[in-house]
Amino acid sequence: MSGGPPAKDGISSTDDAASAASPNASTTSTSAVESESISDSHDANCLGPPPRPAPPAETPADETQVGEWEPAIVPKFYGYYGAVKADGSLYDGRHRHCDEDDECSVNWPTRILLVEECGSPIEPRDLPRNEREKVFELIKRLHKAGFMNGSTYPRNMLSQPGPLSVPRKERSDASASYRIIDFGRSSVLSLLPEGRRRSFEAWCEEEVERAMRYLLL
110 lies in which domain range? 77-214
Residue 159 belongs to a domain = yes
Residue 28 belongs to a domain = no
Mean pLDDT of the chain: 77
pTM: 0.60
What is the rounded CA–CA span in Å between residue 91 and residue 86?
10
Tell me the CATH number at 88. Answer: 1.10.510
Read off the pLDDT of residues 103-122 as tens digits, 9 standing for 90 and up: 778 788 888 989 999 999 99
Q: What percent of the chain has pLDDT over 70?
A: 67
Residue 186 belongs to a domain = yes
Residue 197 belongs to a domain = yes
Read off the pLDDT of residues 176-190 as tens digits, 9 standing for 90 and up: 999 999 998 999 999
Domain count for the chain, please give it: 1
Residues linked to residue 158 through DSSP beta bridges, in sequence order: 121, 179
Residue 70 belongs to a domain = no
